[in-house]
Amino acid sequence: MMARVNPLTDSQCKNFKIKDKMYKVADGGGLYLHINKSGSKLWRLRLLINGKQTTKALGIYPAVSLKEARQKREDIKASLQNGINPFIIEVKRDFKSLAEEYLQHRDDLSEKYSKKQKQILERNFYPLFGDILLEEIENADIINALKKMSNRGVITLAHKAGALLDRIFRYGVTLQYIKYNPMRDIDMSILLKKHKAKNFAHITDPKEFGELLRVIEDYKGDYSTKLALMLAPHVFMRPANIRMAEWNEIDIKNRVWVIPAKKMKMSRDHIVPLTDTVIEIIELNRDNGSKYLFPSPWSSAKPISENTMNIALKRMGYDGVMTSHGFRHTASTILHENIHIHKISSDVIEIQMAHIDGSVRGVYNKAIYLAERENLMNWWSEYINKIKKI
């Protein structure tokens, strides 16, 4: 006699914890919730068809609620009694519902990145085939949408959009919502005009880099912009992180700048160890009357604008030679070339650069290798201070 299974509740489904390995929780009647190490919760129905045990995917919780999963179970069992194989029952989904379910499933992405993905879909694909059923979407629909993007000149974005579509359709195939991925036979390199990868202008010659650092210190323009440019070489964070930096993220006592996950491409906080020089630069603007380290000269309620640092570099005579983003490239190049001197591994450099890492090491907590990263930042600040005097 089989043991009686207690039906699940919505509260249980919502609060099942992530474990070191996948596990299953039964609801009864063959229905169970499959909980992955990533935290995703998938409805599955175990069936016996023609004497053979088979499992059917019913969707992701909470996109498919407990009530809906149970209704699907009963519908499928009713179909079986009527001699209909549930594996050939078509699930009528349109593209928009599939895309939204996929984005909900990707809870590993930061809120900011997910928002950008949704904007790509809303602006370029939903208006053209968002309400079309999956099985009715043709390659021509996708090609037409991507060509429209190409014609607008947003080639890089079109490539990213194509990759996003591919992930969405593969998700649909995996969960058996659709039999075929229409992106599979679309060659993006043929469809979209060739383009050169964006290369941010940057300096790697130590003598030229040292000269730039001296020019920045002598800059006579906006004070906040000057300090932001003085800070940028030391921390080599993305320009957006620097200009949007807030005082509540700075912990002078513990010598760290903790950038919250919502401001990062990765969905976790990022720590920047603060050196003596960095702290000195930060403290120069302590009494600026704003929540931002580098407020706009027009309003203390706003940070300096997106192009402020690049415009300042142009005024200094570095147009086409150096950009605010280029400080990251400069740091990466010089730090990797000097591993034999500072003895800090490439892994630590990449983590401090906040490069998204899909490997096992990329999912560790935000303080991974913190001691090594502190040593890295101290070596780099000393290096900058040294070449500035050359």
60 lies in the same domain as 187: no
What's the number of domains the chain is made of? 3
Question: How many CB atoms neighbour CB 59 within 10 A?
Answer: 21
Instruction: State the Cα–Cα distance between residues 338 and 286, nearest whole angstrom.
Output: 34
- Confidence band for 255, pLDDT divided at 50, 70 and 90: very high
Residues of the chain with pLDDT > 70: what percent? 90
Is 332 part of a structural domain of the chain? yes
pLDDT of residue 363: 37
Segment among 146-160, 197-211, 312-326 with least mean pLDDT: 197-211
117 lies in the same domain as 241: no
Instruction: State the Cα–Cα distance between residues 333 and 350, nearest whole angstrom.
Output: 11
Tens-place pLDDT, residues 96-133: 989 998 988 887 778 888 888 999 999 999 988 888 88
Contact call for residues 134 and 90 (beta carbons, < 8 A): no
Is 106 part of a structural domain of the chain? yes
CATH number at residue 81: 3.30.160.390
List the one residue out of 198, 169, 279 whose CA is nearest residue 231: 279
218 lies in the same domain as 312: yes
254 lies in the same domain as 356: yes
Among the three residues 55, 88, 121, which one is the final residue of a domain in this structure?
Answer: 88
Is 1 part of a structural domain of the chain? no
The one-letter amino acid code at 89 reads: I
Tens-place pLDDT, residues 287-344: 889 999 999 989 999 999 888 999 999 988 888 889 999 999 899 989 998 999 999 9
Cis peptide before 62 (omega within 30 of 0): yes
Is 147 part of a structural domain of the chain? yes
Among the three residues 160, 191, 222, which one is the final residue of a domain in this structure?
Answer: 191
- Residues with Cβ < 8 Å from 332, sequence gap 6 or more? 236, 349, 353
Q: What stretch of H or E contains 336?
A: helix 326-337
For 72, half-sphere exposure in the C-beta direction (CA atoms, 13 angstrom radius) is: 24
> What residues make up the domain containing 225?
206-387
